[in-house]
A and B are shown apart, each in its own frame.
Chain A
Amino acid sequence: MIIRRYVDLNRLTLTAQSRADAVLEDLYKEFDLRVAANPQGLCPIDAVLSFVRLCQAQSCGKCVPCRVGLGQLCDLMEQVLDSKATMQTVKLIEKTAQSVYETADCAIGYAAAELVIKAVKGFKDDFVSHITNGVCNSSFLNPVPCKSNCPAHVDIPGYIALVGEGRYADAVKLIRKDNPFPSVCARICEHPCEEKCRRGLVDAAVNIRALKHVATDRAGVVPAPKCAEKTGKKVAIIGGGPAGLTAAYFLNLMGHETEIYEQRAKLGGMLRYGIPVYRLPDAELDSDIDAILSTGTSVHLNYSVGKDGTFDEIRANHDATFIAIGAHSDNKLGIEGEEAQGVTSAVALLRAIGDGERPDFKGKNVVVVGGGNVAMDCTRSSVRLGAAKVTCVYRRRQEDMTALAEEVEGAKAEGCVIATLMSPVRVKSAEGKVVSLVVQPQIIGEYDAKGRPAPRNADVPEQEIPADIIVVAIGQSIEAEQFGKAGMELFKGSIVTDAGCAIKGFEDVFAGGDCATGPATAIKAIAAGKTAAANIDSYLGYEHKISCDVELPTPKLVNQPRCARINEKEREAGARCKDFDVFEYAFSDQEAKQECSRCLKCDYFGYGKLEGGRELEW
């Protein structure tokens, strides 16, 4: 904006942003990208030092604590980093930061000091290491951010390169080296790989999941690799969900014999009974399961350990046992009237849909309680089951929901109401049948100990939301009592294991997936299956390596100019909400090629070339 002054004596003038401020604003936005995609595993003190330097640059300079104190804190942290400090220096840092926090006149100063206070508390070990050993605890261990952020450490740059060349079957083979559920993950993975994608520093993360979707859609049937020579060892797997099936797949490849005990009529666990088919069609799930089973697992369906046979029997008949029973029982709201007919759990609703039953919600008012992805699955399934109105009730704000933002937006587009800041109080019923959910409106406020904003009752009267069906989707729990009785340690209902899925006192028994972590994502369960397979193999006295013989194409020069991320197109909301068909379209060839070219190939360029790049076997 050009400011011209035509009259000398303006009484008021409009403020205009200076050119420098405008450019700086843009630079801040670009820097935001860098903050969001921050590389991990780096020296935390160095990072905080840089934060405080920025804070200092933001200081107006009026007050002593901020103007002088922040600079002194920087110098002191620099001394630590240069191994010129003593433990007294750390004390001085703490004391000074506390003083700046307490005495600064405005947030520019005291919020900066808070960073330092949290840093000293949060990574004291790093301070000590710099001071006593002269080196940092950290090293750049995660040069390929997508691969390290993927719990199963899938070779993502590798398969993106293959998709870019149209070598879809090779891409599937490469994914299967670490994850035998490529088709499943192509649809429903929460893609933690994209969170720290280095392309995010330039414009936006590569749409990794969509590229996997391309690979699995176009690869056709890709046979599983050959199994190693038979070892004669038998491994029991309790639970045929993603963790159990993954473990079975890799253990089979290693030459062991596996036997799955599955409680339900079909394999897949929460993939089948927790994820609605419009997100994950049966055909996709079954194609992955078929490939897994082709490696030779024997399966006992409708077999409930504890009823149809005991854990001790199974354990005694096998050389090792892997418990992967998931988290299939539902949490209750614990409010008055919850037992009324029409109140159901998310687990029950999604299980019925998984079994092919489609409860008739035609013309009904459905209220879903909860704010996670399962709540969204129930909400969006209810629309598809013909509900007249679906309301999702949640205690906090929409931005506080743990569901993926696109899920929430998708539900809204399909006509669902997201009723936020509503806390369920009681279920009203007539003749035993639910008629409404009474909710207390909430006001969002201060942050709780976990750093989440806490809701509390607002000074307004209760409201009543008419309901024929109430679906409670506030988390699942684990049925692990029998393993507790067998002597395993349980914590909040889940089986306690170490990071290698081992259970204290049970050297031949391993556990992983939701039953050990609490309800989590499919890819985390898959990672647990992979980890358990490796450690079971070692426990059995072997060192089998899982590898993939697919050669990658020669790395091409990277597309450097900024280039926007392509998102998958969705079926129009008005149409998709009427059926359970899939709603996302895979990329066109043109889209796939462009998106592949956005990958910065961190396995080849950058630190990955020095160490920690590709991992050819595990």
Chain B
Amino acid sequence: MVNLKINGKAVCVNEGTSILEAAKTVGINIPTLCFLKDINEVGACRVCVVEIEGKDRLVTACNTPVEEGINVLTNSKKAREARKSNVELILSQHDYHCATCVRSGNCALQSVANDLNIHEVPFTEKLTKKQWNNDFPVIREEEKCIKCYRCVNVCEKIQGLGVWKVLNTGSRTTVGIEGGKDIASVNCAACGQCITHCPVGALHERDDVDKVLEALEDPKKVTVIQIAPAVRAAWGEAFDITREEATVKKLVACMRKAGFDYIFDTNFTADLTIMEEGTEFLTKLTKDPGSLPLFTSCCPGWIRFIKSEFPELLAHVSTTKSPQQMFGAVAKSYFAEKIGVDPKDMYCVSIMPCTAKKFECSIPVMNDACGDPDVDVVLTTREITRLLKVYGVDVPATPEEEFDSPLGVGTGAAVIFGATGGVMEAALRTAYFVVVGENPPLDAFKDVRGLKGWKEATYDVKGIPVRVAIASGLGNTRNLLNAVKKGEVAYDFIEIMACPGGCAGGGGQPIEDGCELAGVRGENLYGLDDIADLRFSHENPEVNAVYAEYFEAPNSHKAHTLLHTDHFHDGIKDYK
């Protein structure tokens, strides 16, 4: 243990504890900016500087370990003025036209500048502009980047991709793609983790709100919106309502206020995914076990990843479309027929916790229903906040409403798609039923839950041992795939989600600086499963109806046409 004083208070902490952590134990808050615990402890912004009595120069609280007997002053004149000066220097190279920034009100730099009572910057403003590919789902604004290097480290350490690099040296040091390349030409998975970890508005999703507004205001368009499972656990964070108040039904009502014609649930097609992917898996398990493992296919970040990093394993990815794309295909075929609308007049919008979904809906072959894209536009959870604000929807005052029918029913098995392990658990529930002929106990597959980056379990399904694995986060995914390739591990069915914690922690979710919310949102989803009337995808009455009326059976010819895809021929030349 190490004894020290912080602002005169005696503190006793373990050796190796940072001054920042030590200060927290006695309720002393030191402002930080670039710091991101365990991920980015690089001490680049020098905002968390504190004085150690007797030392000439200041030290960064975030990464300086405590030492016996030191006397730390976090708010001495020297520390406070230096901290202020560093924030002013950062501002001199940051475009602070906050009024037009998507992160206004949710910006770590704005907060720290406000907190330090900075009203003007005494330095010449020096903004640098850089070209960017504004068609890509991930947008970077050089003039807002504060070179905190969080994106570099999140991409490198968590996602294992290293798309973001430190470029140049000296005063021109910045962050970008190696060699100044176009982001679309490198191995970016478009997962958006860099966005959710950016302290400012330098990284954000491509904003598609205006496209949706235009469709809503076009009288010829029939607008259909689907809401992804994980969105319901997070959307309310941006509004002044509690987690309990922010139900999906409230969101449905808000969407209706915004003017969408049909409001449906991606849970419906999540259940449909289980029917298709589950059948695909069982067929392989029983008839062609040599072709295993089978990988899930619902996460487009993961699909981009395997295509650029492990193309040799692509044949193992399920051909089942993701719930989002299934939804678009079903909406513009089955549903359009049902309501007698020309699918060309239908405008299909998704609310997704994800930036890679923006890419997924633009894949050239995702046009099976009518030749137009099955899903026209994807809005992230963050964009939907903005859309509601545009229309001035009074979210707290909007009472709950039901989804529309027939694509509005989902089971508890579908809702847990939004958490890591959820797809696997849902699939196992139905696979068990198909093989055994009765439903498994509801807690039969609980082992696959939780935030651990790489989970595995083996289940006995009527004498067949089924070895499953789940990874979330692309760094964990890379480790798992390497182990599979080397033969160090063997699995039959593998669920991969690009974002740590699954879609609950998705790159399109609301941002709370410094907080990882995948865990609490995931808990919320499991809670919804617990209280759901229907817990098994094969019991979804609307799914059964769509098979009876339209697709005949899982993996039928018609199902293959609309609900499956060919990952090898998707119309995109190269994922690097």
Contact = CB atoms under 8 A, between A and B. Distances in A.
Interface of A: 41-43, 46, 81-82, 133-136, 138-140, 554-557, 560-561, 605, 609-611
A610 B42 contact: yes
B166 A139 contact: yes
A574 B433 CA distance: 94
A516 to B, nearest CB: 32
Nearest to B179: A133
Contacts of A555: 65
A465 to B, nearest CB: 52
A43 B169 contact: yes
Contact of A136 (B44, B130, B153, B167): B167
Contact of A610 (B15, B59, B149): B149
Interface in B156-199: 156, 165-173, 176, 179-180
A438 B16 CA distance: 68
Interface stretch (B49-57, B401-409, B472-480): B49-57
B65 to A, nearest CB: 5
Contacts of A609: 41-43, 63
Contacts of B43: 605, 609
A140 B166 contact: yes
A140 B169 contact: yes
A434 B16 CA distance: 69
Contacts of B67: 556-557
A554 B68 CA distance: 12
Nearest to B63: A609
Interface of B: 15-16, 41-44, 52, 55-57, 59, 63-65, 67, 70, 130-131, 149, 152-153, 156, 165-173, 176, 179-180
A560 B57 CA distance: 8
Contacts of A136: 167-169, 172
For chain B, what secondary structure do more than half of its interface residues adopt (helix, strand, loop), or is it mixed? loop
A557 B55 contact: yes
16 contacts: A43-B168, A46-B171, A134-B131, A135-B176, A138-B169, A139-B165, A139-B168, A139-B169, A140-B173, A554-B15, A555-B65, A556-B67, A557-B55, A561-B56, A610-B42, A610-B44
B51 to A, nearest CB: 12
A140 B175 CA distance: 13
Nearest to A50: B170
A554 B169 contact: no
Given A46-B171, A560-B56, 15 more contacts: A43-B172, A82-B172, A133-B179, A135-B168, A135-B176, A136-B168, A136-B169, A138-B169, A139-B167, A139-B169, A554-B15, A557-B52, A560-B55, A560-B57, A610-B44
Contact of B16 (A139, A554, A561): A554
Contacts of A134: 130-131, 180
Which residue of B59, B156, B165, B167 has the most chain A CB atoms within 10 A of its CB atom?
B167
A281 B65 CA distance: 42
B172 A554 contact: no
A614 to B, nearest CB: 14
Contacts of A605: 43
A29 B329 CA distance: 74
A42 B172 CA distance: 11
Contacts of A611: 152, 156, 166
A46 B169 contact: yes
A145 B7 CA distance: 36
Contact of B180 (A46, A135, A139): A135
Nearest to B44: A610
B169 to A, nearest CB: 4
7 closest Cβ pairs, A-B complex: A135-B180, A133-B180, A136-B168, A42-B169, A610-B42, A134-B180, A554-B65
Contacts of A135: 167-168, 176, 179-180
A42 B171 CA distance: 11
A554 B176 CA distance: 33
B172 A81 contact: yes
Contacts of A139: 165-169
B127 to A, nearest CB: 12
Nearest to A543: B486
A540 B144 CA distance: 49
Contacts of B153: 610
A610 B166 contact: yes
A42 B168 CA distance: 8
Contacts of B55: 557, 560
A59 B362 CA distance: 61
Nearest to A81: B172
Nearest to B170: A46
A140 B171 CA distance: 12
A611 B169 CA distance: 14
B452 to A, nearest CB: 23
A140 B173 CA distance: 9
A598 to B, nearest CB: 16
